[in-house]
Chain A
């Protein structure tokens, strides 16, 4: 009988995950991800169509960006009857706060 419990390692999973994610990563989707977080920093949550209007990225980059953020645990997607609402998780909020606290040169505002 196979053991159902997955063995844990010190950091091997982390390294393979980062390598896998880096191979999938596209520059456009990362830019879209950051724009989504920046937009949500001010509203905390928003309907998916409002975010799309503000982020202004091609649809595939936008959806890749949402997927990346969701897999990283930075946003939650609530599917409702009349559409989806995207919400920052607690950690997503901390990221967003840090992003808006610093300017493009890395200096605190």
Chain B
């Protein structure tokens, strides 16, 4: 049983690529953030290792799939690469604990790694988000921005569900009446808006509204009736 270097490379590549696809499809907005975490790298390693182990087993048992020579060798590499994916993601049976169904098999192991990836990405993003919000919402006056900024952002998006708008209105009302410093209210407003509309839209909206929502400038008159 011998495995050539390019066969190793291919089988490891297939395993890692499947892992990358998993993570990218999970974090579509910022996949590079997710891929850069240690648990993600471990997840890719597990996928690549499973593919390699499957190839070793296939060669050890000499499964040729009815082919010979180079064809058999490449068939073994491909079956190992993609077959490991099926083995890792399979659950053999399901155990019912109370109202919860727990799958028994390697899929549970993979899910627990993905759960760790989720938490790592959340922590990383939370830190980035806090820094971005602090910069974007610098000098933004909550009293001036509380209605103008969300309205402008929602106007830019155009298709935000009405339930989300309703919920956001309650958040802003809660913040308006809360006994907190204006700066903290602005940051919380920015954080909630960023969750809904994303960093770029928030940044653009704050830049567009400019002096109208900044500290020290005259407040915009939202309730004023148009003249004429």
Q: Cβ of A8 < 8 Å from any Cβ of B?
A: yes
Shortest Cβ gap from B30 to chain A (Å): 16
Contacts of B162 in A (CB 8 A): 6, 8-9, 13
Known: A27-B177, A72-B170. A102 touches B150 (CB 8 A): no
Q: Cβ of A106 < 8 Å from any Cβ of B?
A: yes
What's the Cα separation between A10 and B164 when bound, in Å? 12
Q: Cβ of B57 < 8 Å from any Cβ of A?
A: no
Q: Cβ of A69 < 8 Å from any Cβ of B?
A: yes
Which of the four size classes fits the interface of chain A? Answer: 35 or more
| Selected contact of B169 from candidates A16, A26, A34, CB within 8 Å | A16
Interface string of A30-68 (1 = CB under 8 A from B): 110110000000000000000000000000000000001
B191 contacts A17, C-beta separation under 8 Å: no
Restricting to A18-33, which residues have a CB under 8 Å from any CB of B? 18-22, 24-27, 30-31, 33
A11 contacts B173, C-beta separation under 8 Å: no
Centre residue among A14, A97, A106, A107 by max chain B CB count within 10 A: A14
Shortest Cβ gap from B215 to chain A (Å): 11
A102 contacts B173, C-beta separation under 8 Å: no
Q: Cβ of A1 < 8 Å from any Cβ of B?
A: no
B129 contacts A94, C-beta separation under 8 Å: yes
What's the Cα separation between A10 and B165 when bound, in Å? 9
Shortest Cβ gap from A63 to chain B (Å): 15
B170 contacts A21, C-beta separation under 8 Å: yes
Considering only CB atoms, which chain B residue lies closest to A68 in the complex? B174
What's the Cα separation between A34 and B178 when bound, in Å? 7
Shortest Cβ gap from A64 to chain B (Å): 11
What's the Cα separation between A18 and B147 when bound, in Å? 8
Shortest Cβ gap from A8 to chain B (Å): 6
Contacts of B167 in A (CB 8 A): 17, 71-73
Q: Cβ of B168 < 8 Å from any Cβ of A?
A: yes
Interface string of A63-103 (1 = CB under 8 A from B): 00000110111100000000000000011001101110110
Contacts of B152 in A (CB 8 A): 11
Restricting to B91-117, which residues have a CB under 8 Å from any CB of A? none
Restricting to B123-180, which residues have a CB under 8 Å from any CB of A? 126, 129-130, 134, 146-147, 150-152, 154-155, 158-162, 165-174, 176-180
Known: A13-B162, A105-B181, A106-B183. A22 touches B176 (CB 8 A): yes
B169 contacts A10, C-beta separation under 8 Å: no
Considering only CB atoms, which chain B residue lies closest to A28 in the complex? B177
A sample of 15 cross-chain residue pairs with beta-carbon separation below 8 angstroms, ordered by A number, consists of A11-B154, A14-B154, A14-B166, A17-B169, A18-B170, A21-B172, A33-B174, A71-B167, A71-B170, A72-B170, A73-B171, A91-B192, A95-B188, A97-B130, A99-B188
**What are the 9 A-B residue pairs with the smallest beta carbon separation, nearest first?**
A17-B169, A106-B183, A21-B173, A106-B181, A30-B177, A18-B169, A11-B154, A14-B165, A13-B165
